[in-house]
């Protein structure tokens, strides 16, 4: 990833932490995790881990030429899968947009690297990546998502005790509280916004 190394490493930590948490929510037998919740958690874990790998600074790990194609295949498949599942819930549309944004960033960074190596429009050590219109639309989407989800998260009436979060079905351990899952989604959207800014 281009941009300041400190920002890149913060995005690596954010993506890895949220990905690991979402991965922990995929286990069977966890309170409040039915099949649909585990399916969403798997998609979010993939997104978080993919963001972490993509955010590693280029000065530390210069991705091979095939990396963009690998990201494109993995996240393209994730986007198609999310679109197919969209009839079960609107949250799958968000996953499709996120996966599509990952494909866009991988292709844009690969093109910028090729243009920079060929003496294209490089400036200050990295080439312009992506198209301003597409980047702007994705930035607007993730900014609006963060604001809307953040307002819902803050205004949600939740009672958290020492033993866990009180939900409709009883007490859910804090680690599996729906509010924590929502906070992870907001964190990943903020991370996606920051990654798009560095294009």
CB hemisphere CA count around 32 (13 angstroms): 21
pLDDT in 10s for each residue of the chain, 199 residues: 667 889 999 999 999 999 999 998 887 656 556 777 888 889 999 999 999 999 998 888 878 888 889 999 999 999 999 999 888 878 889 999 999 999 999 998 888 766 655 554 444 445 567 889 999 999 999 999 999 998 988 886 655 544 455 554 555 566 667 778 888 899 999 999 999 998 8
pTM: 0.81
**Alpha-carbon span 120 to 1, nearest angstrom:** 18
- Residue 176: name the closest of 43, 41, 81, 77 by CA: 41
Both tokens of residue 178? 């729906």
- Candidates 24, 27, 22, 30; CA nearest to 50 is 22
Task: Spell out the domain ranges in the chain.
Answer: 5-197
């Amino acid at each position: 990833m281009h941009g300041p190394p400190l920002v890149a490493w913060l995005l690596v930590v954010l993506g890895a932490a949220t990905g690991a948490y979402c991965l922990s929510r995929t286990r069977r037998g966890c309170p409040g995790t039915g099949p649909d919740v585990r399916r969403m958690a798997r998609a979010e874990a993939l997104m978080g881990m993919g963001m972490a790998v993509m955010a590693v600074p280029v000065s530390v790990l210069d991705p091979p030429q095939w990396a963009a194609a690998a990201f494109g295949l993995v996240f393209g498949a994730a986007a198609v899968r999310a679109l197919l599942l969209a009839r079960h819930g609107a949250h799958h549309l968000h996953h499709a947009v996120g996966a599509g944004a990952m494909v866009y960033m991988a292709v844009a960074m690969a093109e910028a690297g090729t243009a920079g190596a060929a003496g294209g429009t490089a400036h200050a050590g990295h080439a312009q990546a992506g198209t301003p219109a597409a980047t702007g639309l994705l930035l607007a989407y993730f900014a609006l998502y963060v604001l809307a989800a953040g307002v819902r998260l803050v205004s949600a009436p939740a009672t958290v005790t020492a033993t866990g979060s009180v939900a409709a079905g009883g007490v859910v351990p804090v680690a599996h509280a729906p509010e924590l899952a929502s906070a992870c989604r907001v964190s990943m959207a903020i991370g996606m916004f920051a990654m798009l800014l560095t294009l």
